[in-house]
Amino acid sequence: MPQPAADIYIGVMSGTSLDNIDVVAVRFTQAGHVESIARHSDPLPQDIKATVITLSRGHPMSVKALGELDRRLGECYANAINTLLEQAALLPKHVAAVGCHGQTVYHQPSGDYPFTMQLGDANVIAARTGITTVADFRRKDMAYGGQGAPLVPAFHNDYFADSEQATAVVNIGGIANVSMICPDRPLYGYDTGPGNMLMDAWTQRHRHQAYDKDGEWAATSCAYQPLLNRLLSDAYFSRPAPKSTGREYFNLDWLDRHLLAFSLSPDQVQATLLALTAESIALAIRPLERGRVFVCGGGAHNQALMHALQQALPQWSIAQTDDAGISCDDMEAIAFAWLARQTLNHQPGNVPAVTGATQACCLGAIYLPY
């Protein structure tokens, strides 16, 4: 019997929210559609989460501890992939490649020596799963002078482009980013600022919960406009693109410095942080008069945040990416599966107008399982 073609790609994502390892198996059709095969999520171990937060805030770590974290993340990713394979009755020979983003532990896109660091040893992934693995996507773009982020606009453009109307695809993870896909102008996009990151951290500090489910706590109060204005006055929000950021910049230390000028209740601060996320996203979209917005990432489940976005962009229709055929929980993992396919096909994965790179290039390194 002929062997089935290895036409399935697996995307692996653990983002700045530091909640789950999301693994998605997909098939990309010739008609430009994405066929979802299976998905699986494993929680990121709490001690790994704490270590990553410590690293991102600039605390020192020994080379030994850093190497062990890299190895351990590789094992976590491999275990999650193998669980998906077992649950979906897939064999390694069915899968063309794994595209693994890795866990960002530090992102410094400017300065004398720009760099970005994602951990999760892809050698371990390839060896444990028996599948060719593509990883380390961001550094090639940075080698050509880019920010290394965001990388998802190329996939968003491939899937969501509409010749009749403007489309904004907004990913709200720990950091929020937007892809602006317009029929009459070049593709552009950038990190708009904090997504769920500050809201989650503030909730953990004051309510000892991982996050504010549906924005229910934020909805008990109103944004305090003087604090919101102060937060939005940060130079990042007015800086022209290309630009990218992370929890190295937007963290509780950043927030606490701004709060010194105010005496507010925790619920007022939470409401203001939700407004900050909504308004910083709207700033990227508002220059265009109307269109459609598709939201993905954990923030798409925050009903208070989705309502705030609609209020900030009344001329735009706002929905989850599920309404366009891709689960809002799977979008980023699928994007890195797509980038893995681009790499295997020797096709570029970055958009220089988005990242600031001097040229389009093939992203990532390929790790063979043998």
Could you list the residues known to form a binding site for ATP, using ranges: 15-22
Crossing angle for the helix pair 331-344 and 153-160, to the nearest 10 degrees: 100
Taking CA atoms, 174 is separated from 14, 69, 124, 226, in Å, by 11, 21, 26, 24
DSSP 153-166: HHHHHHHH--SSS-
Residues annotated within a binding site:
15-22
- How far, in Å, CA of 96 to CA of 148, rounded? 25
- How far, in Å, CA of 56 to CA of 42, rounded? 22
Question: Which tokens go with 3?
Answer: 């062997």
Whether the link from the prior residue into 150 is cis, omega within 30° of 0, is: yes
Helix (H, G, I), strand (E, B) or coil at 196: coil
Whether the link from the prior residue into 352 is cis, omega within 30° of 0, is: no
CA distance between the termini of the chain: 25
Residues 6+ apart with CB under 8 A from 346: 362
- How far, in Å, CA of 91 to CA of 88, rounded? 9
Please give the distance of CA 146 from its chain centroid, rounded to a whole number.
17
Question: Which tokens go with 151?
Answer: 């990388």
- How far, in Å, CA of 32 to CA of 9, rounded? 15
